[in-house]
Structure 1
Amino acid sequence: MKEQISQDLAVMGAKVAPPAVVAAATEVGAISPQSILVWLSVLYTASLLFTTVVKNWGEWLGWWKSRWADVRRLYGRVRGNG
């Protein structure tokens, strides 16, 4: 029983710690609310990009393979005509 309680307290502490640290830093003046919004926007955009790339990984690989084939053809033409 004691381990379950300590485990629950550890989980609760892990969930509460980040907002508490941000709130304390905001009160002290180390972090402004605008910078928090900027960083949250950056993280949100990066996560959207990451999920899009992962979801469409096969299509991305096919696109890059076709671009690489185009570069090889162009290089062959330049090298053959030079």
Structure 2
Amino acid sequence: MARVTVQDAVEKIGNRFDLVLVAARRARQMQAGNKNPLVSEENDKTTVIALREIEKGLINKHILDITDHQAQQEKETSHLQSVTPIVETRR
């Protein structure tokens, strides 16, 4: 099962080296609890789930870049909102 998934996923990404980077990045997101799987887990590890998501075209480098950028912006906005009252009281 995993070998077929890898071959199909390589075709979606372009080469096996980029596949490793994208799959590892996606697996880390799921392990950290930041993102939920987009396919059924079926008692698989996060690396296999990431490969299945890539195979189905649900995840690629561009999508990961966008979601990471959005998450970073939300984090920065939250931080600025928490700091703003402190700065305003010192004026």
Give the TM interval when normalised to the shorter protein. Answer: 0.3 to 0.5
TM-score, structure 2 normalization: 0.38
TM-score, structure 1 normalization: 0.41
Q: Give 1 or 2: higher helix fraction.
A: 1
Higher Cα radius of gyration: 1
